Amino acid sequence: MNDRSAAQKGIAFSKNILKMKGSSTLKAAQLATRLREEGRDVIDLTVGEPDFDTPQFIKDFALEGLQKGITKYTPTAGLRLFRESVIDYYSKVFGAALAEGEIAASCGGKQALFNAVNTLVDEGEDVLVPKPYWVTFPEIVNFVGANNVFIDTEETDFILTADQVRDAITPKTKLLIVNSPNNPTGRVIPAAEMRKIIETCAERGVYVLTDECYLLFVYPPGEVFTSAVLPEELRRYVCVAGSFSKTFAMTGWRIGYTIAGEEWTKQMLKLQSHSASHPTSFVQYACARALQDPARMSDAVGTMLAEYERRRDYLIPELQKIGGFKTAMPEGAFYAFVDVRELLGDKYQRSADLVDALLNSKYVATTDGEGFGADGFIRISYATSMENLERAVEKIARFIDQ
């Protein structure tokens, strides 16, 4: 029901929910699905999820969990096995030293983010959100009645810097939300800069929510940075939102976690205990068992990562050849973010018009940048087959030529 029909029916919804907009990325994907259902041969480049299936051994662990009867409520923070496995994995893979009270299982990265913002930020406070942003960030901030203060990162090629953060902080600033590797830009903040950003915030008493949902998706593989490795005095200000969705191709399983100080974690658990309680018990078990074998996890991710890298290396130079398309080589995630402002004018006033025309005339679905705070840009996901990318590139080039 939209806001107007709700008002006609006299339902007085809360101010906070009416301030929240629906997800624009889901809308684009739904439109592509509708056209496909109507029989059109749509090439869907809107997808924000891996086109790979979950690795078989993780599925086997889920079955094992079911057979063992791990089918009941778990603690709100997740099975102890889950929390211990996250700690061991972060220790072995990244050298982090985490305590059990700092880990909480959540229903995907989204719930982790929602818990973090809702427990920390009050109505009227300011939250720094680098632009372009992932669509959900400003909506969570709206939902709590706080103010989004956007930091435009175009000048620094979409890589947030500590200087930009320092300039944006005021006495009203409570939190910075930062996402690297980034959706929608694919850019990765270098480890040293990320550390400086967190230091800058911590020195001023500003908290940092680091969305590490695409953590391992960095090209070339190996150069990964997680804020979980920072020293205790910095980590006091940090909440890491982690997720199994993208890196382990598990979007439908709905599992993620937070890594935050014990006090912050307690508050997040209080909130979660009155909402979802915890992610599915045998899903937690499967993840825990899988994390116990980092080498196997790394092999599984490595295979997917090599394919994403191959697609990226094909796609970006091809897009760069298309007149009016400007895009840099992304270092992470699985998106190309393309500046199409040169193509805008009388015919297409906004990038959304271009996205619509491309979909309706060539059946190539892309995502408009406006939902990410970047009108004039489009996002192209390469979480799809090479064959689809080749066909899409040809169709886009023909569309632009026309």
Ligand X SMILES: Cc1ncc(COP(=O)(O)O)c(C=O)c1O
Please report how close the Cβ of residue 213 comes to ligand X at its closest, in angstroms: 4
3-state DSSP call for residue 363? Answer: coil
243 counts as binding ligand X under rule CB under 6 A: yes
| DSSP one-letter code for 292 | T
Tell me how crowded residue 7 is: count the other CB atoms within 10 A of its CB. 13
Q: Is 186 in the site for ligand X (CB under 6 A)?
A: no
Q: How far is the CB of 8 from ligand X (least distance, A)?
A: 33
- Helix axes 386-401 and 351-362, enclosed angle (nearest 10): 110
Question: Given the complex with ligand X, which of 115 and 183 has the nearer CB atom?
Answer: 183
Task: Sheet containing 207-211: give its strands across.
Answer: 103-106, 256-260, 238-243, 207-211, 173-179, 126-131, 147-152
Least gap, CB of 342 to ligand X (angstroms)? 27
Q: What SS3 class is residue 254?
A: coil
Task: Please choose, out of 28-36, 103-111, 294-302, 319-327, the segment that lies near ligand X by the rule CB under 6 A.
Answer: 103-111
End-to-end CA gap in the chain: 39
* Residue 183 binds to ligand X (criterion: CB under 6 A): yes
Q: What is the DSSP string of 27-75?
A: HHHHHHHHHHHTT---EE----S-SSPPPHHHHHHHHHHHHTT--S---
- Residue from 110, 195, 311, 379 that binds ligand X (CB under 6 A)? 110
Question: Does the protein bind ligand X through residue 83 (CB under 6 A)?
Answer: no
Q: Among residues 276 and 344, whose Cβ is nearest to ligand X?
A: 276
The residue among 138 and 256 lying less far from ligand X, judged by its C-beta, is 256
Beta pairing, strands 335-339 & 256-260: unpaired
Nearest approach, Cβ of residue 53 and ligand X (Å): 16
Q: Cα(316)–Cα(330) distance, rounded to whole angstroms?
A: 8
Q: Does 96 bind ligand X (CB under 6 A)?
A: no
| Minimal distance, residue 304 CB to ligand X, in Å | 16
Minimum CB distance to ligand X smaller for 283 or for 322: 283
Contacts of 268-274 spanning 24+ positions with Cβ under 8 A: 268/104, 268/115, 268/116, 268/119, 268/239, 269/76, 269/77, 269/104, 270/119, 271/115, 271/118, 271/119, 272/76, 272/104, 272/106, 272/111, 272/115, 273/76
When asked if residue 272 is in the footprint of ligand X (CB under 6 A), the reply is: no
Work out whether 211 is an interface residue with ligand X (CB under 6 A): yes
Q: Please tell me whether residue 48 binds ligand X under the rule CB under 6 A.
A: yes
Residue 187 lies near ligand X (rule: CB under 6 A): no
Part in contact with ligand X (CB under 6 A); list of ranges 4-12, 229-237, 243-251, 312-320? 243-251
From the list 104-112, 189-197, 227-235, 261-269, the region that binds ligand X by CB under 6 A is: 104-112
Interacting residue with ligand X among 65, 108, 186, 371 (CB under 6 A): 108
The yes or no reply on residue 248 touching ligand X (CB under 6 A) is: no
Residue 193 interacts with ligand X (CB under 6 A)?
no
Distance CA 58, CA 248 (A): 9
CA distances from residue 257 to 86, 228, 273 in whole angstroms, order as listed:
9, 12, 14
**Is residue 24 part of the contact set for ligand X (CB under 6 A)?**
no
Nearer residue to ligand X within complex by CB, 217 or 237: 217
Q: How many residues interact with ligand X (rule CB under 6 A)?
A: 13
Residue (322 or 338) nearer to ligand X, CB:
338
One residue of 55, 109, 371, 376 binding ligand X per CB under 6 A? 109
- Please name every residue paired with 118 in a beta bridge, in sequence order, or none if there are none: none
Residues between 113 and 142 that touch ligand X (CB under 6 A): 134
**H-helix or E-strand spanning residue 82:** helix 80-94
Q: What are phi and psi of 240, to 5 degrees?
A: -90, 130
Applying CB under 6 A, which residues contact ligand X? 48, 108-110, 134, 179, 183, 211, 213, 243, 245, 251, 256
